[in-house]
């Protein structure tokens, strides 16, 4: 779960693509690909909001300085094209997070999100809904939550508890339909980089009450992800699939993540094209 606070007051709904960080082949951040990336998301995938420097963006493998440069570039290039840019500012060190939060405000991010530190963790499982109750009292600008677990009782209680101006977004792309039934207002995910076009149709079908059509699209996504998971679907593979589908030059992931073996990339991309054939 990450929590979000926007700088301005726009409720975040619909699909939010969690962006990959473009690297050069030498492993340095590659700012020149960010403009084309945003155009691809908007024009080919129908995506209107992005979530940058999150797990998909390998933020934990970036230095604080790199995160600032990236956040700035995403915000600049998104201007006039994206509805909202949410910058993830969570770090292992609270000091670093605070610095990144201030920076995000300065560069005009529409909102920030914070993934909790994972090195030192609470001993016991905490219910998301209890966290909301606590946050609400302490962060007046709090505007939403991205929930990434499979426990839809906990998720349902977040939805049920949430105030009308909050966004309760879901983060497990492979079971979004279930979360929509439970009342999700939108979704943040890495697969929306390359299947948002189809998932937008899923959402429309659900909203029109055509559950059978929504289910059909969800099952297609599950078929793709199920296939990928059997081969081994980590962030490196995920990024490579985006490269194959979009034609963007996003480069390899950074260590400790490993690049995707070529044969895997080809095989998953073929599956993608067989499930989601290109329209003419």
Which two structure tokens, joined as six digits, stand for 87?
A: 């910058």
Contact flag: residue 209 with a second copy (CB under 8 A): yes
For tokens 């962030």, name the residue.
235
* 24 is a site residue for a second copy (CB under 8 A): no
The tokens describing 130, both together, are 């209890």
Question: Stretches 6-14, 72-80, 248-256, 264-272: which one binds a second copy (CB under 8 A)?
Answer: 248-256
Euclidean distance between CA atoms 143 and 136, whole angstroms: 9
**42-50, 76-84, 187-195, 251-259 -> range binding a second copy (CB under 8 A):** 251-259
* CB-based contact 265:237 (threshold 8 Å): yes
Q: Does 3 bind a second copy (CB under 8 A)?
A: no
**Of the candidates 143, 195, 148, the residue with the CA atom closest to the CA atom of residue 170:** 148
Element at 202 (helix H, strand E) = helix 192-207
Task: Give me the least distance between CB of 135 and a second copy, in Å please.
Answer: 14
Does residue 271 interact with a second copy by CB under 8 A? no
- What gap in Å lies between CA 269 and CA 3, rounded to an integer? 33
- Class of residue 177 by CB neighbours under 10 A (exposed 0-12, middle 13-18, buried 19+): buried
- Does the footprint of a second copy cover residue 94 (CB under 8 A)? yes
Question: Rounded CA gap, 43 and 226, in Å?
Answer: 27
By beta-carbon proximity to a second copy, the closer residue of 212 and 279 is 212
Q: Is 150 in the site for a second copy (CB under 8 A)?
A: yes
Q: Per rule CB under 8 A, is residue 83 in the interface with a second copy?
A: no
- 26 or 280, CB closer to a second copy? 26
Minimum CB–partner distance for residue 263 and a second copy (Å): 18
Binding a second copy by CB under 8 A: which of 96, 108, 197, 261? Answer: 96
Residue pair 47/41 in contact (Cβ under 8 Å)? The answer is: yes
Is 219 an interacting residue with respect to a second copy (CB under 8 A)? yes
Of 48, 50, 58, nearest to 21 by C-alpha is: 58
- Residue 8 C-beta: closest distance to a second copy, Å: 28
- Pick 8 or 135: Cβ nearer a second copy: 135
Going through the chain in order, the beta strands assigned E by DSSP cover 2-6, 14-18, 49-52, 84-88, 111-115, 144-147, 167-170, 186-189
Q: Which of 82, 177, 188, 242 binds a second copy (CB under 8 A)?
A: 177
Per CB under 8 A, the segment of 3-11, 18-26, 218-226, 240-248 that binds a second copy is 218-226
Helix (H, G, I), strand (E, B) or coil at 241: helix
Q: Is 201 in the site for a second copy (CB under 8 A)?
A: no
- Residues near a second copy (CB under 8 A) are 58, 60-64, 66, 92-96, 116-123, 127, 129, 150-153, 156-157, 159-160, 172, 174-175, 177-183, 209, 211, 214-215, 218-219, 222-223, 225-226, 234-235, 254-257
């Amino acid at each position: 779960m990450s929590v979000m606070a926007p700088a301005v007051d726009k409720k975040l709904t619909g699909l939010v693509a969690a962006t990959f960080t473009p690297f050069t082949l030498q492993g340095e951040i590659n700012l020149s690909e960010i403009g084309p990336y945003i155009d691809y998301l908007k024009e080919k995938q129908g995506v209107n909001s992005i979530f940058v420097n999150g797990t998909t963006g390998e933020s934990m493998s970036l230095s604080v300085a790199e995160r600032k440069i990236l956040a700035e570039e995403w915000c600049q290039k998104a201007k006039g094209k994206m509805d909202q840019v949410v910058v993830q500012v969570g770090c292992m060190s609270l000091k670093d997070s605070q610095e990144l939060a201030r920076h995000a405000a300065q560069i005009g991010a529409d909102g920030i999100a914070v993934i909790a530190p994972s090195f030192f963790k609470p001993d016991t499982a905490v219910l998301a809904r209890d966290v909301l109750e606590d946050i609400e009292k302490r962060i007046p600008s709090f505007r939403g939550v991205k929930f990434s677990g499979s426990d839809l009782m906990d998720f349902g209680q977040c939805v049920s508890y949430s105030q009308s101006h909050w966004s309760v977004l879901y983060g497990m792309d492979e079971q979004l339909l279930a979360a929509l039934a439970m009342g999700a207002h939108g979704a943040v995910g890495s697969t929306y980089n390359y299947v948002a076009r189809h998932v937008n149709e899923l959402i429309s079908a659900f909203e029109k009450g055509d559950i059978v059509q929504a289910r059909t699209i969800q099952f297609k996504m599950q078929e793709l992800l199920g296939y990928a998971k059997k081969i081994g679907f980590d962030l490196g593979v995920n990024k490579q699939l985006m490269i194959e589908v979009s034609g963007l030059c996003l480069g390899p992931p950074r260590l400790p993540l490993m690049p995707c073996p070529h044969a895997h990339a080809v095989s998953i991309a073929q599956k993608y094209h067989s499930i989601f054939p290109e329209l003419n």
